[in-house]
A and B are shown apart, each in its own frame.
Chain A
């Protein structure tokens, strides 16, 4: 490994990004610029992408520090809709808490919470039509909850029990629910990006009216599929909404490793010639408004939009992660955009449509409901306690029809079970 030196040049330097705060540091977010509400007013939904570049560097906000909604982005939702939004976000939070605890109790192998990011799945889904297809990553369980997918079915999947619609084949939280417009989740990051574009292209080519929405995290934008999806969407003017949940962290890597030191994620849209919006991801009304704007654009053949939700991953990456090993402890408490649930609650209270007492009662009600659903799901079994789908289902659905070599292997596996559990095992 030789070094090539010229006397008249300083040596080159490799820049390796470093987050501002590490364990033991006191986080300070005072350098994050938070524009005024309506700093860039809502453009017409037919606006040319080139005319709205500012929105990719700004921050769409509806709720001010006084928790009141104002400005041209205010979606003007009814108090009833706002309460429903709050209810869904609180349900998600209660669900996450119970399932995280279930993992810690050894009832399942794995879980991932979306604490602090609830608006980016709940408010977005409320701004879509029920039959639009969502292509989520693994942190958008709020879509299912918003669309009233049965909590028991979500839990059955997490427990991989005999009620699991995915027959225990998938890691917990990798849901699939076609009837609910929720695409099968993959462990491979950002593969859903070009798939969403393909779905949207199919919809357009069939003169359908449905659109596609796809989510990924800040870290996953570095995948090649992100680029191919943006290119295809731009080329074919696909009715798709790209969303980047910028929660600042990809496991232990801060967003600088996905390129955030130089630009915003929304600004990636500019190079592809599509609309890009950067949004306060903890302002549920701004999130709703941005999605509604993008959905209207897609529905009227004005093409794709990229939305970046600027938010913060409130807890660890997963049950297998300990964030205190790589980031400052108080970051979430100090996060300048606050907590999405607390902000929506404050807004409803400011409208005189909600109260602390009502809130407490709702939290208690949802906690009880989730607990009851958990009991119901556990009737179907928990991971590793024997109540699972029949052994032979392991070989089903690899292909539409089971080929001969899989039939052979299935027979072998059943023999092995007989060896293991004795001749009567099938009667168990």
Chain B
């Protein structure tokens, strides 16, 4: 059966495959967003899907994020399983009221009378000279909202399996796709050529249906000296820096920020006694603050150094000074030096 065959895919192809599989599997799945229909999406994530599945399943929308998400909530209330796309995470804010006040609370406020099995996909993150409004990482705005699950993949294989699980989940999910690694695992060494996904393990993707359960982290590198908690593009940046400097780090790709796989985190930090949290998003009140607090609460007597946070700076995302802003190899190396000395 062709569904069992494995193909080399980049992250865009893996996401496209997940959507294609779910459109074929479940007649309630509907995809909509700006430019997602005929054109196939500005990043090609929905290429070919309208032609294959029809205009009532995959369609273009007006340029209105509050409309896209609000309409999605109504479709979900009817019984569909909408998968709206917000073209850039930087543009999700007009839809925030519908996500925070409506989608997230529908099940709770109606005591299960109405639910919202909706998955909002959105490209996020920087490293592409996207400037202020094509680079943001607003995940902590969503992890702070009770009732929403927040998922961020770091490989094509995970992207497909997690997206399928998100679409099948009966709760609203915000699915952030790190656009910097759509085509290859960016290492943060912006002056070196980017390898394509085909040279990476995570690009072997089954063509058919499979899922990766939400709420489960992945240990991408085992180590003894320090635990690094990260997700998205930064998984690859951390891996490269760790290899370059020969650090025996245990790298955990969280994959789902909420619900958080705290057991995996706790076990790792208790083993290594050191913990570093890494994300592109700005520092203050970022998701790293939550990770740091939880590690401190649960692993206090095991810690040999303060929990270190390596993040973007507390400024809007700049254009020309992107590589001074991005938490790249130099910032990471300094942080490793510091945490290992303590």
Residue numbers of A with Cβ under 8 A of B are 133, 135, 165-167, 169-170, 174, 176-178, 183-184, 186-188, 191, 193-203, 205-206, 212, 224-225, 227-229, 231-232, 235, 397-400, 403-405
Contact = CB atoms under 8 A, between A and B. Distances in A.
B337 interface: no
Given A178-B114, A194-B70, A400-B107, A199 B94 contact: no
Interface in B60-100: 61-62, 64, 66-67, 70-80, 82, 94, 97-98
Contact of B78 (A166, A199, A404): A199
A403 B70 contact: no
A186 B109 contact: yes
A167 B71 contact: no
B70 A229 contact: yes
B71 A184 contact: no
Interface string B139-175: 0000000110100000000000000000001110000
A109 to B, nearest CB: 16
A186 B116 CA distance: 14
B67 A177 contact: no
The 7 A-B residue pairs with the shortest CB-CB distance, nearest first, are A198-B74, A194-B70, A228-B67, A198-B71, A195-B74, A202-B78, A403-B259
Contact of A397 (B57, B72, B112): B112
A404 B74 contact: no
A235 B62 contact: yes
B229 interface: no
A305 to B, nearest CB: 17
A176 B215 CA distance: 30
Contacts of A194: 66-67, 70-71, 73-74, 98
Contact of A198 (B64, B73, B215, B260): B73
Contacts of B263: 404
A178 B113 CA distance: 6
B111 interface: yes
Given A188-B97, A194-B74, A399-B107, A232 B61 contact: yes
Contact of A403 (B72, B94, B112, B215): B215
Given A184-B114, A194-B70, A198-B73, 16 more contacts: A165-B113, A166-B109, A166-B111, A183-B77, A188-B97, A194-B67, A194-B71, A195-B70, A202-B79, A205-B56, A397-B108, A397-B112, A399-B149, A400-B115, A400-B170, A405-B262
Given A198-B72, A202-B78, A232-B61, A184 B97 contact: no
Contacts of B30: 202, 205
A398 B61 CA distance: 30
B113 A177 contact: yes
B132 interface: no
B56 to A, nearest CB: 4
B101 interface: yes
Contacts of B76: 198
A355 to B, nearest CB: 42
26 contacts: A165-B111, A166-B111, A176-B113, A183-B114, A188-B102, A191-B70, A191-B102, A194-B71, A195-B73, A196-B74, A197-B67, A198-B71, A198-B72, A198-B77, A199-B77, A200-B74, A202-B75, A203-B78, A206-B78, A228-B67, A398-B108, A400-B115, A400-B170, A403-B215, A404-B262, A405-B260
B110 interface: yes
B106 interface: yes
B260 A201 contact: no
A5 B147 CA distance: 53
Nearest to A200: B74
A417 B259 CA distance: 26
A231 B215 CA distance: 37
B66 A228 contact: yes
A217 B98 CA distance: 19
Contacts of B109: 166, 169-170, 174, 176, 184, 186
Given A224-B66, A404-B262, A405-B262, A398 B147 contact: yes
B67 A195 contact: no
B146 A398 contact: yes
Nearest to B171: A399
A169 B108 contact: yes
A229 B61 CA distance: 12
A422 to B, nearest CB: 29
Nearest to B30: A205
A399 B147 contact: yes
Contacts of B70: 191, 193-195, 197-198, 225, 228-229
B211 to A, nearest CB: 16
Given A169-B108, A202-B80, A224 B74 contact: no
Contacts of A191: 70, 73, 97-98, 101-102
Contacts of A199: 74-75, 77-78
B111 A176 contact: yes
B165 to A, nearest CB: 13
Q: Which of B62, B74, B77, B78 has the most CB of A within 10 A?
A: B74
A363 to B, nearest CB: 33
Contacts of A235: 61-62
Nearest to A403: B259
A406 B149 CA distance: 13
Interface in B182-229: 215
Nearest to A184: B110
Contact of A184 (B79, B106, B146, B260): B106
Contacts of B67: 194, 197, 225, 228-229, 231-232
Contacts of B260: 405
